[in-house]
Amino acid sequence: MTKAKKWGKRLKSTIAVSTLGIVLGLTALPAVPAHAGVVGGVLGTVVAGAAAYQQLDKTIDYFDNTEQGRRELFAAFQEKQGVVDNPYLQGVLDRVMSRVSAGIAASDPSINKKPYLYFINEDKSFNAACSMGHVMTVNQGLFDLIQNEDEIAVVLGHEMGHGQKNHVAKAARKRLISAIGLTAIANSTGAGVLNNLVLNVLSGQINNVHITKPGEWEADNLAFDYITAAGYNPGAAAAIWQRVTEAYGKNKKNFVGDIFSPSDHPSHQQRIDNYVKKLNAMSGKHATAEKGTVKVNGKAFVAPAAADGMSGAERSYFVLGNLAAAYQNGHAKENAYVSGTTVMLGAQPIIKCSSGDPSAYELAELLNKIK
């Protein structure tokens, strides 16, 4: 064997033994103290990092799953954002939260063990947000844009979808590491120090804890299910996005609010289209809406006029929601008729006619022909 081959063989053996030594805890590397120091430093960093992650996870669990931690987080949000004392708005919020919570409990009884803590804050922009621990903060401005409880239920149901699927705790972990840093976490002495760091980040930067696009879609779809189970008009899910589009434009970046503005979230139109598909499926493919016109079995039924603070397009989605419910619940088998100014299909109201709409009798007659 040549000298070159011998040296090559020795070099390969040295590399193999050195690699194995690193894997087995350096037992095969008694020499080269400089290398041992480097590896020891790396391992020390890894161990410290692992301990920091463990400490952070324990803190997150405290705020997410213990009653004391949830109450502390709730109080921190109230102190940071301010609390609106408005009995009327609080009554609306209480009523909607109660109904949506009951709708959720029908399919996910875990909500009964961790009910939502919520309040109205002083921010005048249109937004609501759910943090970990089922702690929710609702902007006062939400009630300025939305005119009915069905649409309020959609926004709250969306946020509660994030809460039920633990989207926020998962996203917050990344945000906390970025905001605090592993070094600061590792150097925090005692649970109280880290708790204060986490509280400060969560209560002060809630809008920076972004959910992934799949998480947003999941929350959208859950909101539809939740409000339907709660007895709200499922068409409100599409209607609220029509209202948002008309108020702020089609570009989601023009909208102020965590559930609407991030660049990786669905656009307003994508959300409308998604809900129209769900409503169409709910109706057994009998009803849909497009460009402000409601269609039944492919034929135009009504293009509602603007009324009650809503555009005709926004109203069309409420009509679609009523039709979807009628078909799903078997009311479409019965004849349409008129009660006052409302077109009924069995026990299901379809549309309350306003000035600018065709008469209720015209619509009832047409519906009987095409349904």
The DSSP result for 280-339, as a single string, is HHHTTSSEEEETTEEEETTEEEE-PPPBTTB-HHHHHHHHHHHHHHHHHTTGGGSPEEEE
48-62, 169-183, 254-268, range with greatest mean pLDDT = 48-62
Same domain, 112 and 252: yes
**What is the tally of structural domains in the chain?**
2
- For range 56-77, the mean pLDDT: 93
Cα torsion 257, 168, 151, 266 to 10°: value is: 60
Q: Exposed, middle or buried: residue 339 (CB in 10 Å: 0-12, 13-18, 19+)?
A: exposed
Q: Structure tokens of 61?
A: 């669990």
The answer, yes or no, to whether residue 28 has pLDDT greater than 80, is no
The answer, yes or no, to whether residue 13 has pLDDT greater than 50, is no
Expressed as residue numbers, the domain containing 102 is: 47-282
In which region does residue 181 sit, left (phi positive, over 0), alpha (psi from -120 to 50) or beta (all else)?
Answer: left
The set of residues, in sequence order, having a beta carbon less than 8 Å from that of 26 and lying 6+ positions away, is 36, 39, 40
Same domain, 298 and 216: no
Query: Pick from 282, 303, 330: which residue ends a domain?
Result: 282
Stretch among 15-19, 32-36, 247-251 having the lowest mean pLDDT: 15-19
Q: Is residue 132 a contact partner of residue 63, using CB atoms and an 8 Å limit? A: yes
The reported pLDDT for the residue numbered 51 is 72
Q: Distance (Å, rounded) from C-alpha 247 to C-alpha 162?
A: 25
Same domain, 325 and 209: no
Same domain, 149 and 232: yes
Same domain, 213 and 78: yes
Query: Pick from 247, 282, 317: which residue ends a domain?
Result: 282
Q: Structure tokens of 122?
A: 């002083």
Q: Is residue 370 a contact partner of residue 296, using CB atoms and an 8 Å limit? A: yes
Residue 14: inside a domain, yes or no? no
Residue 10: inside a domain, yes or no? no
Helix axes 312-328, 268-282, angle to 10 degrees: 30
Same domain, 252 and 318: no
Same domain, 195 and 122: yes
Question: Residue type at 32?
Answer: V
Same domain, 256 and 126: yes
Give the 3-state secondary structure percentages of the chain, helix then strand then coil, rounded to 5.
60, 10, 25
Radius of gyration of the chain (CA): 28
Q: Is residue 25 a contact partner of residue 43, using CB atoms and an 8 Å limit? A: no
Same domain, 251 and 295: no
Residue 204: inside a domain, yes or no? yes
Q: Please tell me what DSSP assigns to residue 266.
A: P
Q: Distance (Å, rounded) from C-alpha 367 to C-alpha 327?
A: 13
Same domain, 227 and 246: yes
Residue 185: inside a domain, yes or no? yes
Same domain, 186 and 278: yes
Residue 200: inside a domain, yes or no? yes
Q: Distance (Å, rounded) from C-alpha 162 to C-alpha 355?
A: 40
Mean pLDDT of the chain: 83
Q: Is residue 319 a contact partner of residue 294, using CB atoms and an 8 Å limit? A: yes
- Note the pTM of the prediction, 2 decimals: 0.81
Same domain, 66 and 199: yes
Residue 93: inside a domain, yes or no? yes
Query: Pick from 282, 313, 338: which residue ends a domain?
Result: 282
Residue 298: inside a domain, yes or no? yes
Instruction: Specify the pairing of strand 117-121 against strand 135-139.
Output: parallel
Q: Structure tokens of 318?
A: 């409420």
* Tens digits of residue pLDDT in 92-147: 999 999 999 999 999 999 999 999 999 999 999 999 999 999 999 999 999 999 98
In which region does residue 330 sit, left (phi positive, over 0), alpha (psi from -120 to 50) or beta (all else)?
Answer: left
Residue 5: inside a domain, yes or no? no
* Tens digits of residue pLDDT in 299-353: 999 999 999 999 999 999 999 999 999 999 999 999 999 999 999 999 999 999 9
